Structure 1
Amino acid sequence: MANTYTQLYIHLIFAVHGRERLIRESIRERLQQYICGIVREKHHKPLAIYCMPDHLHLLIGLHPDQAIADLVRDIKSSSSMWLNENRLLPTRFAWQRGYGAFSYARSQVDAVVQYIQRQPAHHARVSFREEYIALLQKFAVEYDERYVFEWIE
């Protein structure tokens, strides 16, 4: 797109189906690399990623040629297929339906990168449910708690 200039930073969050803690440390880095490859292949820029055992945080520089929903669909379907075809888990893997997408200004990117990189320490204090609801509230996103992921406590 000639003469099109954008600066779009999107923090994506989505969960493992059933909120099962399937993403083991032994495959976490490989999965993160695979997902970043998908992001780059779609002409976006991966800035930070962290796969917790039951959910994922991903910060990207979004290219305007692809809708966020299409990118999330591509990441979820390709990464699930890759995990299952390579038998990297003892059970079949799938991501839960839905996702969160939150936009940030350039001045906030470094703080969001640090937040994502510190996920294990963050979740030692705060549950994924508390974190996600807090983000929805911070960004003033209207939601119905009945449809915000499947919470397994």
Structure 2
Amino acid sequence: MAGTYSQIYIHVVFAVKGRENLIHAAWKNELYSYIAGIINLKDQKAIIINGYTDHIHCFVGLKPSMAIADLVRDIKNNSSKFVNERRWVKGKFQWQEGYGAFSYGHSQIDRVYNYILNQEEHHRKKSFKEEYFDFLKKYEIAHDQKYLFDWIE
């Protein structure tokens, strides 16, 4: 019987609505574990989840049967509900619309893993906005700034 074999690694980045600094150290690891659980329950592989106070990075081994848009929708919907049920923030927690998705090869796994692992150190030198624009430039992704995240200056 013929099988389907793939090697798809996707780095997904998305932000808190309004780019507010709402992801706190006291509960971020629980949130990251919950997001990893969502990914794994969808029969995908959560390689690493990390972020900063205003955004999340998810590195995923993706099977070809799963659409990236469906996975990100489920991550954002379920994790925002998770945060709200725990009342970790004042008011309603939401993710902004949209996300970035960037593909990598197997030989780049360690580099991407370490990049995501070191988000706090990385963001001492560079804002999320600079980081995101660097991704768009690096991957030569055409974009219109008016359709990107709501940036806090």
Instruction: Provide the TM-score with structure 2 as the length reference.
Output: 0.97
Amino acid at match of 2:107: S
Output the CA distance in 1 between the equivalents of 2:6 and 2:130. 32
Displacement of 1:88 in angstroms is 2.0
Aligned to 2:109: 109
Amino acid at match of 1:125: K
Report matched runs for 1:32-43 at 5 Å: 32-43=32-43
Structure 2: which 5+ residue stretches go unaligned? none
Aligned to 1:21: 21
Cα separation, partners in 2 of 1:64 and 1:129, compared to 1, 3 Å = same
Q: Which moved more, 1:88-97 or 1:36-45?
A: 88-97
Structure 1: which 5+ residue stretches go unaligned? none
Output the CA distance in 1 between the equivalents of 2:2 and 2:41. 20
Deviations 1:117-136 (A, max 9, x none): 01111100011001000100
Report matched runs for 1:1-153 at 5 Å: 3-153=3-153
Give 3-state SS (helix, strand or coil) of 2:26's partner. Answer: helix
Instruction: Provide the TM-score with structure 1 as the length reference.
Output: 0.97
Q: Which moved more, 1:101-110 or 1:42-51?
A: 42-51
- Give the percent of matched residue pairs that are identical in Structure 1 and Structure 2: 50
Output the CA distance in 2 between the equivalents of 1:145 and 1:87. 33
Output the CA distance in 2 between the equivalents of 1:2 and 1:92. 48
Displacement of 1:89 in angstroms is 1.8
User: Is the Cα–Cα contact under 8 Å of residues 9 and 106 in structure 2 kept in the other structure?
Assistant: yes
Amino acid at match of 1:21: N
Output the CA distance in 1 between the equivalents of 2:135 and 2:106. 18
Displacement of 1:2 in angstroms is 5.4
Deviations 1:27-49 (A, max 9, x none): 10000000000000001101111
Moved over 4 A (4+): none
Report how many residues are paired: 153
